[in-house]
Amino acid sequence: MDEVVFVTHNKGKIASAKKYLKDVNFKIYEYELEEPRSDDIKYISKYKVMEAYKLVNKPCISLDCGFWIDELDGFPRAFVNFALDTIGIEGFLKLMEGKEKRSCRFTECLSYYDGKELHQFLGKHEGTLATKVLGKDTDKKWSDLWYIYKPYGYDKTLAQMTDEERANRPKYESIDSMSEFAKWYKSK
């Protein structure tokens, strides 16, 4: 199998790749790719993987994520980092004060580009929002949203779960884009 390069600077994404892509010959190239302003995670992921390919000139992957809060008409969508930089997780909680409907989801798109063909793999992780910041810091987190996101079927945030609980929990209502990519890549 050819080596695949994952271009990212996100420590949580790197930790996830080591877990989910253990059967893929890949290496990490730590670099912060430019992210276009768009509400479409498929477009952002495609843009970033094309930039990554220009940088490393090898088959590569890029992963982009969004976060959708149903009660807020999907806000912040693909603008997670901007929202976290401006209002932070406390701002999310303030926007949700008094709201009973707390459903939310992470969405993700992993793009693979080998210089000729682009393949995209979508993921989705349903959950609910906590009413306050909960849990401990971890190098496995992708985002500060881990302190307020409770996976579907659980009454703990990702930040409250131990590494073992996160790794071994049944993933109700979840599709992981890295797992989907790994299955496809092994079969090709």
Average pLDDT, the chain: 92
pLDDT tens per residue, range 156-175 = 999 999 988 887 888 777 89
Which class is 4-187 in CATH? alpha beta
pLDDT tens per residue, range 44-101 = 999 999 999 999 999 999 999 999 999 999 999 999 989 999 999 999 999 999 999 9
> What is the value of pTM for the model shown?
0.89
From residue 4, give the alpha-carbon distance in Å to each of 27, 100, 149, 159, 168. Answer: 6, 44, 31, 30, 26
From residue 178, give the alpha-carbon distance in Å to each of 38, 45, 76, 96. Answer: 22, 13, 23, 31
Tell me the pLDDT band of 1, cut-offs 50, 70 and 90.
low
Helix axes of 177-187 and 11-20: crossing angle, nearest 10 degrees? 40
- DSSP state letter for 158: T
Domain residue limits, the chain: 4-187
d(C-alpha 58, C-alpha 112), whole Å:
11
